[in-house]
Amino acid sequence: MSKFSVVAMTTAAQMKDRTAVVTGATTGIGAELAERLAGYGAHLVLVARTADRLHETAERLRAEHGVKVLAVPLDLAAHDAPRRLAQQLAEAGIEVEMLVNNAGISDLAPVAASDPVRLRTVVDVNAGALAEITALLLPQMVARDHGSVVNIASTGAYSPAPYVAAYAASKAFVLSFTQALWGETRNSGVRVVAICPGPTETPMNTRPTPGKRHPRDVADTVVKALNGSRSAVIDGRVNALTSFVFGRLLPARLATRIAERFMRAALPAA
Protein backbone atom coordinates (compact mmCIF):
# COMPACT_ATOMS: atom_id res chain seq x y z
CA MET A 1 0.00 0.00 0.00
CA SER A 2 1.38 3.42 -0.95
CA LYS A 3 1.49 6.48 1.23
CA PHE A 4 -1.62 7.69 -0.60
CA SER A 5 -4.99 6.53 0.67
CA VAL A 6 -7.35 4.74 -1.67
CA VAL A 7 -9.55 7.83 -1.88
CA ALA A 8 -6.66 10.25 -2.47
CA MET A 9 -6.90 10.33 -6.25
CA THR A 10 -4.46 12.56 -8.10
CA THR A 11 -5.80 15.99 -9.03
CA ALA A 12 -4.11 18.64 -11.17
CA ALA A 13 -3.07 20.59 -8.08
CA GLN A 14 -1.23 17.52 -6.77
CA MET A 15 0.92 17.12 -9.89
CA LYS A 16 3.94 19.14 -8.77
CA ASP A 17 7.13 17.17 -9.53
CA ARG A 18 5.07 14.28 -10.89
CA THR A 19 4.81 13.33 -14.55
CA ALA A 20 1.88 13.61 -16.94
CA VAL A 21 1.73 12.10 -20.43
CA VAL A 22 -0.30 14.21 -22.86
CA THR A 23 -1.02 12.98 -26.38
CA GLY A 24 -1.92 15.39 -29.16
CA ALA A 25 -0.01 17.94 -27.14
CA THR A 26 1.00 20.66 -29.60
CA THR A 27 -2.33 22.23 -30.55
CA GLY A 28 -5.83 22.81 -29.23
CA ILE A 29 -6.99 21.09 -26.07
CA GLY A 30 -3.81 19.06 -25.67
CA ALA A 31 -1.59 22.13 -25.80
CA GLU A 32 -3.79 23.94 -23.28
CA LEU A 33 -3.74 20.98 -20.89
CA ALA A 34 0.03 20.67 -21.17
CA GLU A 35 0.34 24.37 -20.35
CA ARG A 36 -2.04 24.07 -17.43
CA LEU A 37 -0.28 21.03 -15.94
CA ALA A 38 3.12 22.68 -16.34
CA GLY A 39 1.69 25.61 -14.42
CA TYR A 40 0.99 23.22 -11.56
CA GLY A 41 4.62 22.10 -11.65
CA ALA A 42 4.07 18.82 -13.44
CA HIS A 43 6.81 17.28 -15.53
CA LEU A 44 5.55 16.34 -18.97
CA VAL A 45 5.85 13.74 -21.68
CA LEU A 46 4.40 15.29 -24.83
CA VAL A 47 3.33 13.10 -27.73
CA ALA A 48 2.45 14.39 -31.20
CA ARG A 49 3.12 13.73 -34.87
CA THR A 50 4.89 16.95 -35.85
CA ALA A 51 8.40 16.77 -34.42
CA ASP A 52 9.42 20.40 -35.01
CA ARG A 53 6.36 21.87 -33.32
CA LEU A 54 6.58 19.29 -30.55
CA HIS A 55 10.18 20.20 -29.69
CA GLU A 56 9.34 23.93 -29.82
CA THR A 57 6.46 23.37 -27.38
CA ALA A 58 8.67 21.32 -25.07
CA GLU A 59 11.42 23.96 -25.04
CA ARG A 60 8.95 26.76 -24.31
CA LEU A 61 7.34 24.90 -21.41
CA ARG A 62 10.75 24.10 -19.92
CA ALA A 63 11.77 27.76 -20.13
CA GLU A 64 8.50 29.23 -18.83
CA HIS A 65 7.70 26.76 -16.05
CA GLY A 66 11.01 25.17 -15.07
CA VAL A 67 9.69 21.63 -15.52
CA LYS A 68 11.15 18.60 -17.25
CA VAL A 69 9.61 17.93 -20.66
CA LEU A 70 10.27 14.88 -22.81
CA ALA A 71 9.14 15.25 -26.43
CA VAL A 72 8.13 11.97 -28.09
CA PRO A 73 7.33 12.38 -31.81
CA LEU A 74 4.94 9.56 -32.65
CA ASP A 75 2.15 8.99 -35.12
CA LEU A 76 -0.42 7.11 -33.08
CA ALA A 77 -1.92 5.73 -36.28
CA ALA A 78 1.06 3.35 -36.38
CA HIS A 79 0.06 0.10 -34.74
CA ASP A 80 3.29 -0.17 -32.74
CA ALA A 81 3.18 3.44 -31.50
CA PRO A 82 1.65 2.76 -28.04
CA ARG A 83 4.26 0.12 -27.24
CA ARG A 84 7.06 2.34 -28.51
CA LEU A 85 5.80 5.07 -26.17
CA ALA A 86 5.66 2.70 -23.20
CA GLN A 87 9.16 1.47 -24.02
CA GLN A 88 10.58 5.00 -24.09
CA LEU A 89 8.95 5.76 -20.75
CA ALA A 90 10.39 2.59 -19.22
CA GLU A 91 13.87 3.25 -20.62
CA ALA A 92 13.78 6.80 -19.21
CA GLY A 93 12.65 5.50 -15.80
CA ILE A 94 9.55 7.72 -15.89
CA GLU A 95 6.72 7.00 -13.47
CA VAL A 96 3.50 8.26 -15.03
CA GLU A 97 1.14 9.86 -12.52
CA MET A 98 -1.38 11.17 -15.04
CA LEU A 99 -2.31 10.08 -18.55
CA VAL A 100 -4.21 12.48 -20.79
CA ASN A 101 -5.40 10.71 -23.94
CA ASN A 102 -6.22 13.71 -26.09
CA ALA A 103 -4.94 12.84 -29.57
CA GLY A 104 -7.74 12.63 -32.11
CA ILE A 105 -8.48 13.08 -35.79
CA SER A 106 -11.64 13.48 -37.82
CA ASP A 107 -12.88 13.55 -41.40
CA LEU A 108 -15.89 15.47 -42.69
CA ALA A 109 -17.39 13.45 -45.54
CA PRO A 110 -20.05 10.82 -46.26
CA VAL A 111 -18.77 7.31 -45.63
CA ALA A 112 -19.47 6.41 -49.30
CA ALA A 113 -17.15 9.22 -50.42
CA SER A 114 -14.43 8.60 -47.82
CA ASP A 115 -11.07 6.93 -48.15
CA PRO A 116 -11.55 3.56 -46.40
CA VAL A 117 -8.00 3.67 -45.06
CA ARG A 118 -8.63 7.12 -43.59
CA LEU A 119 -11.76 5.87 -41.83
CA ARG A 120 -9.76 3.01 -40.31
CA THR A 121 -7.10 5.51 -39.21
CA VAL A 122 -9.70 7.68 -37.44
CA VAL A 123 -10.83 4.67 -35.42
CA ASP A 124 -7.26 3.48 -34.77
CA VAL A 125 -6.09 6.85 -33.42
CA ASN A 126 -9.20 7.90 -31.52
CA ALA A 127 -10.11 4.53 -30.02
CA GLY A 128 -7.48 1.86 -30.58
CA ALA A 129 -4.38 3.80 -29.56
CA LEU A 130 -6.21 5.30 -26.56
CA ALA A 131 -7.24 1.88 -25.30
CA GLU A 132 -3.78 0.38 -25.76
CA ILE A 133 -1.89 3.27 -24.15
CA THR A 134 -4.27 3.14 -21.21
CA ALA A 135 -3.82 -0.61 -20.82
CA LEU A 136 -0.04 -0.22 -20.93
CA LEU A 137 0.21 2.55 -18.32
CA LEU A 138 -2.73 1.84 -16.00
CA PRO A 139 -1.25 -1.20 -14.19
CA GLN A 140 1.50 0.94 -12.65
CA MET A 141 -1.09 3.36 -11.28
CA VAL A 142 -3.24 0.57 -9.85
CA ALA A 143 -0.19 -1.03 -8.24
CA ARG A 144 0.72 2.30 -6.58
CA ASP A 145 -2.89 3.01 -5.52
CA HIS A 146 -2.84 6.48 -7.12
CA GLY A 147 -2.88 8.19 -10.50
CA SER A 148 -5.30 9.66 -13.01
CA VAL A 149 -6.49 8.88 -16.53
CA VAL A 150 -8.25 11.60 -18.53
CA ASN A 151 -9.76 10.53 -21.85
CA ILE A 152 -10.98 13.26 -24.17
CA ALA A 153 -14.21 12.04 -25.77
CA SER A 154 -16.81 14.33 -27.39
CA THR A 155 -20.46 15.29 -27.22
CA GLY A 156 -20.58 13.37 -30.50
CA ALA A 157 -20.35 10.24 -28.36
CA TYR A 158 -23.96 10.64 -27.27
CA SER A 159 -25.67 10.21 -30.66
CA PRO A 160 -24.83 9.26 -34.26
CA ALA A 161 -23.31 12.06 -36.36
CA PRO A 162 -23.68 11.73 -40.13
CA TYR A 163 -20.69 12.91 -42.19
CA VAL A 164 -18.38 12.39 -39.20
CA ALA A 165 -19.64 8.85 -38.61
CA ALA A 166 -16.31 7.22 -37.74
CA TYR A 167 -15.30 10.10 -35.49
CA ALA A 168 -18.54 10.06 -33.49
CA ALA A 169 -18.51 6.27 -33.24
CA SER A 170 -14.89 6.27 -32.06
CA LYS A 171 -15.75 8.83 -29.39
CA ALA A 172 -18.70 6.70 -28.30
CA PHE A 173 -16.14 3.95 -27.75
CA VAL A 174 -13.98 6.33 -25.69
CA LEU A 175 -16.94 7.30 -23.52
CA SER A 176 -18.09 3.71 -22.94
CA PHE A 177 -14.54 2.43 -22.41
CA THR A 178 -13.82 5.15 -19.86
CA GLN A 179 -17.04 4.64 -17.95
CA ALA A 180 -16.35 0.90 -17.75
CA LEU A 181 -12.78 1.59 -16.64
CA TRP A 182 -14.12 3.96 -13.97
CA GLY A 183 -16.18 1.06 -12.64
CA GLU A 184 -13.14 -1.21 -12.56
CA THR A 185 -10.88 1.29 -10.79
CA ARG A 186 -13.16 3.36 -8.57
CA ASN A 187 -11.88 1.70 -5.38
CA SER A 188 -8.24 1.62 -6.46
CA GLY A 189 -7.22 5.23 -5.84
CA VAL A 190 -6.95 5.87 -9.59
CA ARG A 191 -9.15 8.65 -10.96
CA VAL A 192 -10.62 7.86 -14.38
CA VAL A 193 -12.81 10.34 -16.24
CA ALA A 194 -14.00 11.08 -19.75
CA ILE A 195 -14.28 14.73 -20.76
CA CYS A 196 -16.75 15.43 -23.56
CA PRO A 197 -16.20 18.75 -25.33
CA GLY A 198 -18.59 20.06 -27.94
CA PRO A 199 -17.53 22.43 -30.73
CA THR A 200 -14.17 23.87 -29.61
CA GLU A 201 -11.79 26.29 -31.29
CA THR A 202 -9.09 23.87 -32.45
CA PRO A 203 -7.22 23.23 -35.72
CA MET A 204 -9.55 20.25 -36.28
CA ASN A 205 -12.65 22.44 -35.94
CA THR A 206 -12.33 25.76 -37.73
CA ARG A 207 -15.97 26.05 -38.87
CA PRO A 208 -17.88 29.02 -37.46
CA THR A 209 -20.21 27.61 -34.81
CA PRO A 210 -22.41 29.56 -32.37
CA GLY A 211 -21.27 29.11 -28.78
CA LYS A 212 -17.98 27.50 -29.73
CA ARG A 213 -15.80 26.94 -26.67
CA HIS A 214 -12.08 27.64 -26.24
CA PRO A 215 -9.48 25.03 -25.23
CA ARG A 216 -8.95 26.90 -21.96
CA ASP A 217 -12.64 26.27 -21.13
CA VAL A 218 -12.09 22.56 -21.64
CA ALA A 219 -8.93 22.69 -19.51
CA ASP A 220 -10.97 24.32 -16.73
CA THR A 221 -13.47 21.46 -17.00
CA VAL A 222 -10.69 18.86 -16.81
CA VAL A 223 -9.21 20.42 -13.67
CA LYS A 224 -12.61 20.52 -11.98
CA ALA A 225 -13.48 16.99 -13.09
CA LEU A 226 -10.29 15.61 -11.54
CA ASN A 227 -11.51 16.96 -8.20
CA GLY A 228 -14.83 15.16 -8.60
CA SER A 229 -16.02 11.57 -8.82
CA ARG A 230 -18.11 11.37 -12.01
CA SER A 231 -17.10 8.97 -14.76
CA ALA A 232 -17.87 11.47 -17.53
CA VAL A 233 -18.20 15.25 -17.65
CA ILE A 234 -19.55 17.33 -20.55
CA ASP A 235 -17.80 20.64 -21.12
CA GLY A 236 -20.22 23.59 -20.97
CA ARG A 237 -23.87 23.86 -19.97
CA VAL A 238 -25.18 24.29 -23.52
CA ASN A 239 -23.27 21.21 -24.64
CA ALA A 240 -24.63 19.27 -21.68
CA LEU A 241 -28.21 20.25 -22.54
CA THR A 242 -27.74 19.44 -26.22
CA SER A 243 -26.24 16.05 -25.42
CA PHE A 244 -29.11 15.25 -23.06
CA VAL A 245 -31.71 16.15 -25.70
CA PHE A 246 -30.03 14.30 -28.56
CA GLY A 247 -28.78 11.39 -26.51
CA ARG A 248 -31.79 10.70 -24.28
CA LEU A 249 -34.94 12.67 -25.10
CA LEU A 250 -35.14 12.38 -28.88
CA PRO A 251 -35.63 9.04 -30.63
CA ALA A 252 -32.38 7.99 -32.31
CA ARG A 253 -33.92 8.23 -35.77
CA LEU A 254 -35.05 11.82 -35.24
CA ALA A 255 -31.79 12.87 -33.59
CA THR A 256 -29.84 11.42 -36.52
CA ARG A 257 -32.02 13.22 -39.09
CA ILE A 258 -31.53 16.55 -37.33
CA ALA A 259 -27.79 15.96 -37.05
CA GLU A 260 -27.63 15.02 -40.74
CA ARG A 261 -29.16 18.34 -41.78
CA PHE A 262 -26.85 20.31 -39.53
CA MET A 263 -23.70 18.49 -40.61
CA ARG A 264 -24.65 18.51 -44.32
CA ALA A 265 -24.56 22.29 -44.18
CA ALA A 266 -20.94 22.08 -43.03
CA LEU A 267 -19.81 19.91 -45.94
CA PRO A 268 -17.39 21.57 -48.37
CA ALA A 269 -19.00 22.81 -51.56
CA ALA A 270 -18.72 20.32 -54.41
Active-site residues, by number, are: 167
- The strand order across the sheet containing 190-196 reads 69-73, 43-48, 19-23, 96-101, 147-152, 190-196, 232-234
> How many residues in the chain?
270
Amino acid identity, position 265: A
Q: Choose among 200, 198, 224, 202: nearest CA to 26.
A: 202
* Chain CA centroid to CA 53, Å: 19
